[in-house]
């Protein structure tokens, strides 16, 4: 079996002969325990799980934010741990080998384990959420070198699927050099709430800022610009809500375009997509593609979707769904009463049973609260909410994807995610131009 030996660690689809095998969770916990008393800066201490988990996937590289010596130290720690586990104390071990046995990090239990194959391209996954960009880009042969996500519940889901803890607040990391490799794609769905219709409406009602004036989320686009200056990726692949075009009378979108074209010097392309021919929901997204050196074809345009909108029936469970997803009598009556009043007033939401032969409406992060956006008819019974697995299918996640174990978090995370097939569709066309 062909293996790749880098920095003392062998990575392969299965353990090479003679390798010392250690589970990736064991390896992470062991290194974190080893460094528990080390006097790191606050930033290193906060990001150590991300640093170590990234290093375990790419041990040929220096640990992010740290020196080569730490990688060498961690290889020794893992080797010593494996030898003791196999042979007991040092006095009971067989004679020392001339060549130390390689360490094999076992990622086999993961839904999306690291691959041995040489990647076709390398990318950074910013505002990573639960990995929609990562799945789409890895399906095309890409390798993720860096991920970041500030929400702790989303980090947990990301780790459970990819074995990697994303780094945290990108505002603290965007100005420094994190990795020395060339980046082919810098990808990110920068937070959409400050620009979405619902988000703007909610912020106006609270008297809060929205768009770029929202300091927590609205200004994160400029961290993309800072990181693009640092790494000069061949392609920027960015996603946001369709309302990004219209926010602040179009001035927000013009600022984004000017920053990418004038500040970075990239060739800018954009398109608005309704994803309902790729997934069974009407989900309108703005996708931006920008090329550092321009596309190979000077007449290139953003690809267009085609086909028939997919019906909601395509993603529904084929067997009986647990009764806990059926909404209560009180909630159903409340939905019907408010819907009737809102129709009479001409404003507000409506909550009806959905036509299963049409796409679902846009899945939103608040869906976990009462399910009003997409209620599934059940004949004589009250309608039910979508299950977590149905929400995963609605966003195009593969069957092996593991949702967050808490229902509310799973619903919020799928509602905030990008449709995976849309990323794969656009990225495949963009990659042909570099």
Nearest Cα neighbor of 187 from 232, 128, 142 is: 128
The proportion of the chain whose per-residue pLDDT surpasses 70, expressed as a percent, equals 88
DSSP letters, 335-364, are: HHHHHHHHHHHT-S----B--TTS-B----
Give the per-residue pLDDT at 182: 93
CB-neighbour burial class of residue 171 (10 A; exposed 0-12, middle 13-18, buried 19+): middle
DSSP string for 71-109: HHHHHHHHHHHHHHHHH-SGGGSPPPPSSPPPEEEE-TT
Note the pLDDT of residue 348: 84
DSSP sequence for 201-246: HHHHHHT---GGG-TTTGGGHHHHHHHHHHH--SEEEEEEEGGGGT
Question: Quick count: other Cβ atoms within 10 Å of Cβ 369?
Answer: 12
Query: Pairing relation of β-strands 142-147 and 284-291?
Result: unpaired
Cα-based angle 181, 47, 84 (whole degrees, multiple of 5): 90
How confident is residue 100, by pLDDT bands cut at 50, 70 and 90? confident
Residue 141 CB neighbour total at 10 angstroms = 13
Instruction: Work out whether the CA dihedral 192, 423, 360, 149 comes out positive or negative.
Output: negative
Checking if the pLDDT of 192 tops 60, the result is no
Tens-digit pLDDT profile for residues 208-223: 443 445 444 447 888 9
Distance CA 10, CA 336 (A): 60
Return the pLDDT at 243: 86
pLDDT score, position 93: 52
Domains and CATH numbers, the chain: 4-106 (no CATH), 121-309+415-431 (3.40.50.150), 312-404 (3.90.120)
For residues 25 and 165, what is the distance between their CA atoms, to the nearest angstrom? 11
Distance CA 308, CA 331 (A): 34
Contact criterion met (CB below 8 Å) for 391 and 410? yes
Of 183 and 83, the structure prediction assigns the larger pLDDT to 183
Respond yes or no: is residue 374 known to be catalytic: no
Residue carrying structure tokens 């290139």 = 300
pLDDT exceeds 60 at position 11? no
pLDDT at 151 over 60: yes
Separation between Cα atoms, residue 278 and residue 306, nearest integer Å: 9
pLDDT band at 89 (very low <50, low <70, confident <90, very high): low
Residue 88 pLDDT exceeds 80: no
On the question of pLDDT at 340 being above 90, the answer is: yes
Q: Which pLDDT band holds residue 96 (cuts at 50, 70, 90)?
A: low
Give yes or no for a contact between 93 and 87, defined as CB atoms under 8 angstroms apart. yes
Select which of 192, 275, 286, 391 is catalytic.
192
Encode burial over 83-115: b for 16+ CB neighbours within 10 A, e otherwise: beeeeeeeeeeeeeeeeebbbbbbbeebbbbbe
Radius of gyration, CA atoms only, the chain: 24
Q: Looking at residues 176-188, what average pLDDT do you find?
A: 91
* pLDDT of 5 above 60: no
Asked if 305 and 278 count as a contact pair (C-beta separation under 8 A), the reply is: yes
Average pLDDT of the chain, as a whole number:
89
Q: Is residue 339 exposed (0-12), middle (13-18) or buried (19+ Cβ within 10 Å)?
A: middle
């Amino acid at each position: 079996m062909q293996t790749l030996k880098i920095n003392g660690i062998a990575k392969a689809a299965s353990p090479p002969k003679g390798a010392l095998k250690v589970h990736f969770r064991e390896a992470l916990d062991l290194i974190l325990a080893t460094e528990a008393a080390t006097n790191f800066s606050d930033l290193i201490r906060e990001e150590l799980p991300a640093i170590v988990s990234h290093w375990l996937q790419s041990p040929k590289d220096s640990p992010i934010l740290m020196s080569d010596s730490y990688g060498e130290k961690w290889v020794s720690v893992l080797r010593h741990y494996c030898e003791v586990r196999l042979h007991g104390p040092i006095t009971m071990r067989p004679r020392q080998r001339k060549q130390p046995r390689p360490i094999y990090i076992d990622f086999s239990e993961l839904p999306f384990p690291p691959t041995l194959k040489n990647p076709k391209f390398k990318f950074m996954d910013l505002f990573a959420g639960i990995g929609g960009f990562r799945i789409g880009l890895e399906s095309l042969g890409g390798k993720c070198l860096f991920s970041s996500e500030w929400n702790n519940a989303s980090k947990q889901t990301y780790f459970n699927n990819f074995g990697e803890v994303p780094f945290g607040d990108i505002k603290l990391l965007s100005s420094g050099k994190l990795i020395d490799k060339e980046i082919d794609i810098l990808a990110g769905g920068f937070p959409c709430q400050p620009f979405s219709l619902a988000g703007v409406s909610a912020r106006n009602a609270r008297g809060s800022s929205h768009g770029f004036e929202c300091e927590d989320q609205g200004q994160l686009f400029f961290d993309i610009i800072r990181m693009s200056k640092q790494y000069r990726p061949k392609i920027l692949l960015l996603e946001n809500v369709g309302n990004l075009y219209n926010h602040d009378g179009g001035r927000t979108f013009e600022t984004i375009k000017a920053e990418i074209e004038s500040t970075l010097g990239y060739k800018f392309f954009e398109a608005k997509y309704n994803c309902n021919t790729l997934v069974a929901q009407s989900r309108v997204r703005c996708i931006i593609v920008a090329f550092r050196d321009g596309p190979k074809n000077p007449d290139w345009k953003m690809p267009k979707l085609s086909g028939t909108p997919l019906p909601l029936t395509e993603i529904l469970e084929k067997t009986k769904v647990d009764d806990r997803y059926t909404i209560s009598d009180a909630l159903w009556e409340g939905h019907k009463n408010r819907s009737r009043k809102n129709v009479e007033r001409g404003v507000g939401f409506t909550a009806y049973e959905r036509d299963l032969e049409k796409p679902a409406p846009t899945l939103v992060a608040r869906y976990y609260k009462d399910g009003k956006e997409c209620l599934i008819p059940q004949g004589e019974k009250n309608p039910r909410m979508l299950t977590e697995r149905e929400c995963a299918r609605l966003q195009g996640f593969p069957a092996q994807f593991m949702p967050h174990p808490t229902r509310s978090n799973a619903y919020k995370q799928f509602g905030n995610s990008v449709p995976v097939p849309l990323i794969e569709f656009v990225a495949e066309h963009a990659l042909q131009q570099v």
